[in-house]
Structures are given as C-alpha cells and as structure tokens.
Amino acid sequence: MDVTPPRNLRELFTGFLAIGARSFGGVLPWAHRTMVEERRWLTQADFAETIGLCQFLPGPNIGNASIVLGKRWFGLAGSIVAFLGLMALPFLWVMALGILYLEWASHPVVRAIVTGVGATGAGFFIGTALKLGRAIVKRPAALVLIAGCFISVGIGRVSMLVVMPLAAAIGIFCARRGWL
Amino acid sequence: MILVDLAVSFGLLSLIAFGGMPSVMPEMQRLVVDVKGWTTHAEFIQLFAIAQAAPGPNVLIVSLIGWRAAGLAGAIVALLAVCAPAAVLSWWVADLWERFKDSPWRRAIQRAIAPLVVGLILAGGYVLCTPATPDWRLWAIAAASATAFLTLKVNPLWILGAGGAAGAFLL
C-alpha cells in the first residue's frame, strides 16, 4: 500500500479536524478511517502499533496519538497542530451540549434521560473491561490483580495514588516470574 | 485559586491514567465529588453522559467539570491539564519505546499493566452507576448496555439512545 504522510501542517490540521468532527460514538474507528483508509497517512500495521503504544501510555489515548504522530511528521509544531485539530470541534460540541443541558437540567424527564445515557456509558466500561479481561483472565495472578484493583478502588474508594504503585509493583513481579 | 487547583488535580490524574481515561474514572469521581465538591454525585454521571454522547474523545468530561467549577477558563485549563503531562511523556517515550521493543522489561510492564487496567475500568463502570444510595435501575441499564456492547455490531450511539429512553421510563 502506498503511504503518503501529510505534506504540510494544514493537511495535518484538517485531517485531525475531520477525525474530531465525525467521531460520534468513539474516536478510534474514525481515526482509523481517516488516517489509514481515506488519507493513507500510514499503514494498518503502523496505526495499530502507534495506538498500542498510546494505550499503554497514561492519559487520553487518542490525544497521545495526535502528539506522537504530529511529532513524527512535523516535530513540535506537528504535535501542537494535530492536538488542536483533534480537540477543537469536540470541545465546542461538548460545551454546547453542556450549556444546553444546563438550560433543561431542572426538567425531571431530561435528567432521567441523561442519567440513563450515563448508566449506558458505564455499561460500555463494563463491556470493555470484560472484552479486555477475557484474554488474560485464565491466569490466576491476573484474576487476583483485577479483583484487587476493582475492590480497593471501586468499592473501597481507596485513592489510585495508593493502589497503582502497589499494584504495578506486584504486577511487574508476577510478570517477571511468568505468572501473567 | 480554583484554576490552579483544577490544573494540579487534573494534571495528576493525567499521569496515573494508564490505559487511557476510563481507568482513571473512579479516581476522578472521588476527587471531583468527594474531595473537591466541584459537582454532586448525581451531576457527575450526567456530565459523563454528555461527554459520551458528544463526538470526540471521552476525556472532554474534564472540560465540563472545569466549566462547572470555574467557567470557560476552567474548561480550557482542565482539558489542557489532563492532556499536557501525558502529552509530554508521550513525546519523550515514543522513540524510547521503539528502541526497547524486544526488552523483557517492556514485555513485563505491558503484561503487568493489563490486569490493572481491566480492574480499574470495571471500577469506573461500577462507581459511575452507584450513587450515594445504590439504585438497581442504574445497574440494570448498565448491565443491558454492557451486553449490547459485547453482542451487537452497531454504532454505540444507538445503544446510548436506547439507554436514554430506558432512563426516561425507569428513572
């Protein structure tokens, strides 16, 4: 497959703008469609590798991807332009929806609908966790770590600042022993 | 100074959000609702809903929180704060990561992080639909949504719409 990276900052900006503008229901599929299928900025394998790295890094995955790809093509200016392109329209959308919502928030039916949408989004989290968990849950050590994080952070409401370093240390120890 | 408070709080969240924003959701809720009182528990799930329904990265919930806490400046500061530290890290790590492609430590770290992310995302889902007084109806909607998410091959937006309708009837 022929790959043609963006030729200038304007192309980079409009590309990421197109991703942000259309990404109803999740950014990742639109990032793939825009960058791999439509504009052919990078190959499928390259895309998967980059997203894999960004899923590992802390912070918003797709935001990190805009930084990494922008840097690869145009250095610091590229990172800034890609990030701004990605966030500009979604930021306006979400603020407009937020203002609209506040206008109507006193209406009980509106509140019920929005809360229902929120619970549905929470269900997506549970679905995502099940999907990711299926691959690793056969290992008892993984199951213990999953349960430990869920119980301490979710039910116990312990700060992640306490849980994460501890869990990461245990996880790396287990991984080095081949238990994960 | 509330803008500084927003910047520091969300900046810290940025650095512990391994696996992306969903895994830091329980901590964000704890911080924003329990510690800082920027929103109520009920409002938190509604702001989360707006960020889910709008196009774009779900990280934009922090803009809504920043906006409720300190207006437009708060919205911008919160968004930049939650992105910047991770962005700087990505900037530096991207090349390093490539270089250590075959290092056993890289593989160990990847394997170690995976179960933590799963447990934390699960906790995020649980915390979001468990307000101060647990409500079975929210759990029912979330359970149905998780099932639909895993079995139906449709744009998640349709499932969000159905969940909104369920909310109108049940809540």
| Per-residue pLDDT tens listing for chain A (180 residues) | 678 999 999 999 999 999 999 887 778 888 999 999 999 999 988 898 888 888 778 888 899 999 999 999 999 999 999 999 999 999 999 999 999 998 998 899 999 999 999 999 999 999 989 988 888 888 899 999 999 999 999 999 999 889 988 999 999 999 989 888
Q: What is the pTM of this model?
A: 0.91
The pLDDT assigned to A1 comes to 61
Give pLDDT tens digits for B47-56.
999 998 888 8
Q: A88: which chain B residues are within 8 Å (Cβ-Cβ)?
A: none
- Most A-contacting residue of B121, B126, B139, B159 (CB-CB within 10 A), to test interface: B121
Per-residue pLDDT averaged across B31-52, rounded? 93
Give pLDDT tens digits for B117-136.
899 999 999 999 988 788 89
CB of B125 within 8 A of CB of A126? yes
* ipTM summary value: 0.91
For residues A15 and A18, give the distance between their C-alpha atoms in angstroms, rounded to a whole number.
5
Nearest to B112 among A71, A121, A171 (CB): A171
Query: How close, in Å, is residue B6 to chain A by CA atoms?
Result: 16
Q: Which residue of A has its CA nearest to B65?
A: A98
Burial environment of residue B63 by CB neighbours within 10 A (0 to 12, 13 to 18, 19 or more): buried
Report chain A's mean pLDDT, rounded to a whole number.
Answer: 91
Alpha-carbon dihedral angle through residues A17, A22, A26, A32, given to the nearest 10 degrees: -70
Q: What is the DSSP letter of A106?
A: T
